[in-house]
Amino acid sequence: MGLCIDTDVAVPVRDGVTLATDLWRPAGTGPWPVLLARTPYGRTSTAHLGNPKLPDIRALADSGYLVVVQDVRGTGQSPGRMEPHRFDQSDTVDTLAWIADQDWCDGRVGMWGASYMGFSQWQAATQAPPELRAIAPMMTSADVYRAWYPARGAVSQSTLFNWSARMAMANLSRPGNDGPSDPRDVAQIRAALERPEDLYALPTGDRGALARGLPWMGEMLAHPGHDAYWKPLASLDRSSAITVPALNVTGWYDVFAREVVRSYTTMRRDGGSVPAREGQQLIIGPWGHGDGADLGIFPDRSFGPAGSVKAAAMTQAHLRFFDRWVRGRADVDQGARVRIFVMGPDRWREEDDWPLPDTRYEEYFLHSAGRANSSEGDGQLHRSPAAEDRSDTFSYDPLDPVPTVGGATLGVDGFAGPADQADVERRDDVLCYTSRSLEEPLEVTGHVALTVHVSSSAVDTDVTGKLVDVFPDGRAIILCEGLCRMRYRAAAGPPRPLVPGQIVEATIDMGVTSTVFAPGHRIRLEVSSSNFPRYDRNTNGGGTFASTTDIRVARNRIFHGPAHPSRLTLPVIARPA
């Protein structure tokens, strides 16, 4: 008997709800080890089950695993309305217990899945269910707050609005929908998805329709700080309770890249068991989050055949991981703990750990004669601080924000990934600091940070940073970026408004990358106050999300020199790439 699929299995959970589930039974009589995936995108959707980033279900079954695929509560054929994150932990734990109690399960269960499918893996792992042996969370976050607010206090607006719009439409279109909605809501949301300028427009586009279809959205926007609302969803805060290893997968241009890496490093250090610490693995390719961003080929930059997800052999990586930790086969060679795609030479490389053990952090200081505005300005990067104090000034208008071009986005407003920033760099509100042409190759692999000394005419504003590789032909290819919402500039504690005109220091987490700047290339840092709609625009008044009651233009100034050593910190690898 070959592969058999049992459809429409009803799995009961603690409050009496039954969740729609399919079982992919392998050949034979069992019992088998089990792999569980819980999805809000439809358990039979070929767009997700056939995603090349995810392991092939048939290959998992052919390898002797029974695969369970379940519709998250309020999606697909599971009853209710979609309420993100509210039931995921308890429903996952209950499903794991149900699986372990079936005669076709040998008592060993693993989990897999990308994006939203990864949130519940981390949340369930904090409860240490005895049957759960390993998880494989891909392109996701172990701290839900940081998924939606990647720069503390600033919303990942393009990700949030596009995802929420699709979930709201699904809610509003469900048979028997009993939520408060206008019949026109679905049509309004669908139209807005086709016109991003409407979806993102101040005050908040079709947020009224979105909030009616997905009430959670309005709820989460009311909590821009990492407060008590988010604490139960911060799985990494309970890393010592997590005893299972994880296969962590992301892309350099994934919206969750820095969070996947943070999950790996946190669990390596603080995991609650030896397997949880020693069994962590990390794979990072040159990919974005959305479909179509996994081929390694982009309009402005191609990484060649080696850069594709197919070349990364994700199904085989999952099988090796599950054979070792779910089946418990100590003889399985998992390969290197860390596998990264190094951009520049465009090839995969195996590493012992992350950050790379031979990382050396080097500082590049901002210089100018006071006119670093645009790529035609006089901004420079040097290894030593400037001899005298100077500053560069620009105006940030929330009604004319710097547009997002590529980078870590869903790719719905153009394309994600390594886009040319030349048009952005022509703007007067973008400061550009550029190194001399390199004479030797320079590898930058790891965490990038920007420390700036800044003042503003406003009580709140943003500072953005962007690391760019300037090619000899003039292309300015984005590598990674970040943002600091200035009232949240302190690592902890309540928001602190700016005192207009007062100079403060802030550090911007610019994420992670791995690239080799080739001879003839130049390193460039862009500094501004917006990157929209990657992040929501700050209206400079210290108000709530996209407030229209206090929109003002901010006059922002970046200081550099001996008294105010603004600097870019790069993780440099000295050995040959």
50 CB-near residues (< 8 Å, 6+ apart)? none
Structural contact between residues 443 and 572, judged by C-beta atoms closer than 8 angstroms: yes
Q: 254, 346, 413, 509: which one is catalytic?
A: 254
Of 235, 240, 246, the residue nearest 270 (C-alpha): 240
Q: 22, 71, 88, 115: which one is catalytic?
A: 115
Decide: helix, strand or coil at residue 271.
coil
Rounded to 5°, the CA angle 35-37-38 comes to 145
Measured in degrees and rounded to the nearest 5, phi and psi for residue 509 equal -75, 115
- Distance between CA atoms of residues 36 and 54, nearest Å: 13
Q: Does 85 qualify as catalytic in the annotation?
A: no
Q: Does 120 qualify as catalytic in the annotation?
A: no
- Using DSSP bridges, classify how beta strands 442-456 and 132-138 pair: parallel, antiparallel or unpaired: unpaired
Give bridge partners of residue 450 from the DSSP assignment.
508, 568
Can you say whether residue 42 is alpha, beta or left, with left for phi > 0 and alpha for psi between -120 and 50 degrees?
Answer: left
- Distance between CA atoms of residues 482 and 457, nearest Å: 22
Token digits of residue 62 = 């052919």
Q: How far is CA 28 from the centre of its chain?
A: 40
Token digits of residue 166 = 């699709």
Q: Which helix (H) or strand (E) holds 249?
A: strand 247-253
Is the N-terminal amide bond of 355 cis, ω within 30° of 0?
yes
Structural contact between residues 107 and 100, judged by C-beta atoms closer than 8 angstroms: yes
- Distance between CA atoms of residues 320 and 318, nearest Å: 6
Q: Does 15 qualify as catalytic in the annotation?
A: no
Q: 48, 85, 226, 289: which one is catalytic?
A: 289
Tokens 């999300």, residue located: 545
245 CB-near residues (< 8 Å, 6+ apart)? 134, 135, 271, 275, 276, 278, 279, 280, 281, 321, 325
- Distance between CA atoms of residues 550 and 543, nearest Å: 7
* Max Cα–Cα distance, the chain, nearest Å: 79
- Which residues are catalytically annotated? 115, 254, 289
